[in-house]
Structure 1
Amino acid sequence: MTNEPILFKNLRLLDPAFDEPRGGYEVLVEGEKIKEVSETPIRSASAQAVDCGGRVLMPGLIDCHVHSMHSEVYMRRMEDVPLTLAAARAARRLKEMLDRGFTTVRDTGGTDWGMKTAVEKGLIPGPRLFIAGRSIGPTGGHSDGRARTNTGFACACCNGQAYLRIVADGEDEVRKVVREQMRQGCDHVKIMVSGGVASPNDPLDSLQFSIEEIEAAVEEAEAFGRYVLAHAYAAEAITRAVAHGVRTIEHGNLIDEAAAKLMAEKGAYLVANLVAYVAMKERAASYGMPPVMLEKNDMVLEGGYRSLEICKAAGVKVAYGSDLLGALAEDQSREFSIRCEVQQPIEVIRAATTIAAEVVRRPGRLGTIAPDAWADIIVVDDDPLKDITLLEGQGAHLAVIMKGGAFYKNRLGGAV
């Protein structure tokens, strides 16, 4: 690591504003930011040069739906995971995300300010973290993972599942829980407004939280300068959430044209994550996920591809997400090739850069190679628009990973 300026040379620049990589550019990094991007040689007497050998330089990737602390595929098993073990597992998961070139991630439930601070202070390697704290839902909903025989809630210190989620019923209780999330330093608030795959007792099309409860969450989050994201599958749940102030919809697999039109009118974002359902179909049973959950997974997998087409037609911006639990997290980058079955590679890359930067409310700072942006940069061995799998393989095809102007990985020589 060095504090000296870094000059990237001999590269093909793939800024998401382009439709293809462009040669002839140089990029100068000073401190934590990009200082200059030029089509002509950049002069800097103090800069350490890095010869990219004609490789493709592009922004660091952004995953808008991860769960750093969810280290079991079958969530019921989190009941036996103490907070200490969950944190140790999360530290490894975050490092592996950075290994794959994800320099920013948006945690959508379960990760707290302590883990975020540990990354910021350099105590553990990991991406920039935007956190939601505990996911919030009503009794019997997607945040309520209790067995039918369990009438109480365990201590969050010794039960990983209790730490990740919280149940709130009624407008007043929702307000209090959201205010507590704000006190705990959260960047956004996660609420559950429909059933889910990984919860035992709620149908996918169930409606969770009343309109008054949704509005209470939105009002409190916005009063604190934050926003609300909602887990939602069914079109009716999506419509209820967006109509009452929710900014981003997570999953949205069963969306219809009317709900998508409303999202476009409101400027709401969809965060899709098809890889989660593909991976669960392939391997979740071997990690203990029961048939009732796998049946629900099949239902949403079928609708996932269609949701991308519906949102594109309506003009809804769709960000990149993965939402992989436990050991399935190794498939995080596989979302690129899965989406390319129905989208163009540049569309998927924009979902993981410029659109994702808008979702975390850092446009112009993240997801772009431009002056004054944070120097979150990856250098890819070849053109990912021709072979999207270059962004997969656990980072094997990434010659450089830089976060905030500091090299996390550099196999090109020059500055270290």
Structure 2
Amino acid sequence: MQNVLFTNANVIDTRNGKVLADQQVLVSNGRIAQVSAGPIQAEDAQVIDLHGRFLTPGLCDSHVHVTAITPNFALLGTMSPFYVTAKTGPMLESMLMRGFTTVRDAGGADYGLALAVEEDALLGPRILYCGKAISQTGGHGDMRSPGQHTFEGCFCCAGLGRVCDGVAEVRRACRDEIRKGATQIKIMASGGVSSPTDRIDSTQFSLEEIDAIVEEATAANIHTMAHAYTARAINRLLPRGVKTIEHGNLMDEESCRLFVEHDAYLTPTLVIYDSLAKEGVEAGLPKEMAAKVFDVLEAGGKALEMAQRSGVKMLFGTDLLGQMERHQLHEFNIRSEVVPADDLLRAATCNAADAFGYTGDFGEIIEGARADMLVLEHNPLDDIKVLTRPETELSLIMKAGRIYKQTL
């Protein structure tokens, strides 16, 4: 891999929300070797003069389902995994071309898919994966219908979740996902839109089961992410060590207090509700589930305002499924009505690294970090919406030191 030297770069300092002007950045062996305001000597490096363009860390979408080629998860669980992978490939490449160099999969991706991307057999962002999300019987990861007594698929194929009950079973499930390389454990801790037999306002798993899940993740030095909508669900999770809450549309002020107290993160996924309301049924969501979207649609914006006002740290996430994945960057538009550009950029960069236990590894342009970087024509701190126009604004995409797009 050839070394690359970026010169005359306006480097975006995501952590402090400012621009470092006239910087030189040296990339070597897939990492950022040097950042300097003065000249860098690197005779063997490819020199790319940015002429004052903006060099920013690659983006992280902290809630994706890269194998969810349809929002009908019961159908997905019966599909050939070979077919699902073939359909997943173009989705991954599209994410990379939008500037996402890391994604955290919230159920479905596994070691093989992550390795295929790492080896460039599939082009896409680096995948941090939980394997199968952990669900109780009748929970958000159980896709059997109320009248279904048998299961035609299997929990080891293309589905997003695995079902287990009781402390011993959840421990075994977590240990199995950790054995298979999971970088986080996902808990289905409340009802959801796309599951057929639960209610949005239900809590899922006992406190003893949740403690066992968090304990197993902590023992493996990885974090837990939890699907949860209501304050009742969220407020029982945060004191137990869950690091990130996914969605959180129906949280309350006490939830905000607990987020801050326990140094936890909220991952709003507002674009999925907007997309499901407009085209969910067309995309394949069963009609009987589509009505659930409206239980959380408007509440998501109110929760975002509450979280921002209370100083809750947030991550950028989308949760898009199937054909709706093309709306990924629209999350920036939705949140920008409430969240300032610097906070929103942090949510998509260094906040993710901090939440996942990778501080200094990605999300910042600092020495030693992965060379995941984008070149933008304009400053996203002035207008975050430049990130939503990759065709005209995104001049270069680098992941782990390799250039995947360059129009300079």
Matched residue, 2:13? 15
Corresponding residue to 1:337 among 328, 333, 339: 333
CA distance in 2, matches of 1:357, 1:395: 26
Corresponding residue to 2:368 among 367, 372, 379: 372
Matched residue, 1:145? 143
Do the aligned residues in 1 keep the contact of 2:78 with 2:153 (CA within 8 Å)? no
Corresponding residue to 1:279 among 250, 275, 294: 275
Deviation at 1:395, TM superposition (A): 4.9
CA distance in 2, matches of 1:72, 1:356: 26
Deviation at 1:394, TM superposition (A): 5.3
Deviation at 1:396, TM superposition (A): 4.6
Do the aligned residues in 2 keep the contact of 1:99 with 1:394 (CA within 8 Å)? yes
Paired residue type of 1:371: E
Corresponding residue to 2:347 among 346, 351, 369: 351
CA distance in 1, matches of 2:150, 2:399: 43
Counting matched residue pairs gives 408
Deviation at 1:20, TM superposition (A): 3.8
Following superposition of structure 1 onto structure 2, how do residues 138-287 of structure 1 map, counting pairs within 5 Å?
Answer: 138-156=136-154, 160-161=158-159, 164-287=160-283
Paired residue type of 2:294: D
Do the aligned residues in 1 keep the contact of 2:11 with 2:54 (CA within 8 Å)? yes
Matched residue, 2:49? 51
Matched residue, 1:30? 28
Corresponding residue to 2:96 among 95, 98, 104: 98
CA distance in 2, matches of 1:188, 1:241: 16
CA distance in 2, matches of 1:140, 1:286: 26
Corresponding residue to 2:290 among 282, 294, 299: 294
Deviation at 1:4, TM superposition (A): 3.0
Say whether residues 1:6 and 2:4 are aligned partners: yes
Do the aligned residues in 1 keep the contact of 2:372 with 2:401 (CA within 8 Å)? yes
Which aligned segments of 4 or more residues in structure 1 are displaced greater than 4 angstroms? Answer: none
Deviation at 1:193, TM superposition (A): 0.9
Matched residue, 1:408? 404
Deviation at 1:153, TM superposition (A): 2.6
CA distance in 2, matches of 1:21, 1:197: 41
3-state secondary structure, aligned to 1:358: helix
Do the aligned residues in 2 keep the contact of 1:106 with 1:360 (CA within 8 Å)? no
**Cα gap change, 1:404/1:79 in structure 2, threshold over 3 Å: closer, same or farther?**
closer
Render the CA deviation track for 1:355-410: whole Å, top value 9, x for unaligned. 01112211111000111111110001222233333212455521110011111111
CA distance in 2, matches of 1:20, 1:187: 31
Do the aligned residues in 2 keep the contact of 1:12 with 1:22 (CA within 8 Å)? yes
Do the aligned residues in 1 keep the contact of 2:30 with 2:401 (CA within 8 Å)? yes
CA distance in 2, matches of 1:4, 1:203: 53
Matched residue, 1:322? 318
Deviation at 1:342, TM superposition (A): 0.6
CA distance in 2, matches of 1:224, 1:93: 30
Unaligned 5+ residue runs, structure 2?
A: none
**Cα gap change, 1:150/1:395 in structure 2, threshold over 3 Å: closer, same or farther?**
farther
Say whether residues 1:64 and 2:62 are aligned partners: yes
Following superposition of structure 1 onto structure 2, how do residues 389-408 of structure 1 map, counting pairs within 5 Å?
Answer: 389-393=385-389, 395-408=391-404
Unaligned 5+ residue runs, structure 1?
A: none
CA distance in 2, matches of 1:357, 1:66: 16
Do the aligned residues in 2 keep the contact of 1:319 with 1:355 (CA within 8 Å)? yes
CA distance in 2, matches of 1:238, 1:11: 42
CA distance in 2, matches of 1:406, 1:118: 16
Matched residue, 1:117? 115
CA distance in 2, matches of 1:94, 1:133: 17
Cα RMSD for the two superposed structures:
1.7
Deviation at 1:297, TM superposition (A): 1.3
Render the CA deviation track for 1:254-287: whole Å, top value 9, x for unaligned. 1101112112111111111111111111111212
**Cα gap change, 1:157/1:270 in structure 2, threshold over 3 Å: closer, same or farther?**
closer
Matched residue, 1:312? 308
**Cα gap change, 1:155/1:282 in structure 2, threshold over 3 Å: closer, same or farther?**
closer
Deviation at 1:347, TM superposition (A): 1.2
CA distance in 1, matches of 2:16, 2:333: 20
So what's the TM-score if we normalise by structure 1?
Answer: 0.94
Deviation at 1:80, TM superposition (A): 4.4
So what's the TM-score if we normalise by structure 2?
Answer: 0.95
Render the CA deviation track for 1:207-233: whole Å, top value 9, x for unaligned. 110111111111122122222211000
CA distance in 1, matches of 2:323, 2:4: 36
**Percent identity among equivalent residues?**
41
Paired residue type of 1:280: L
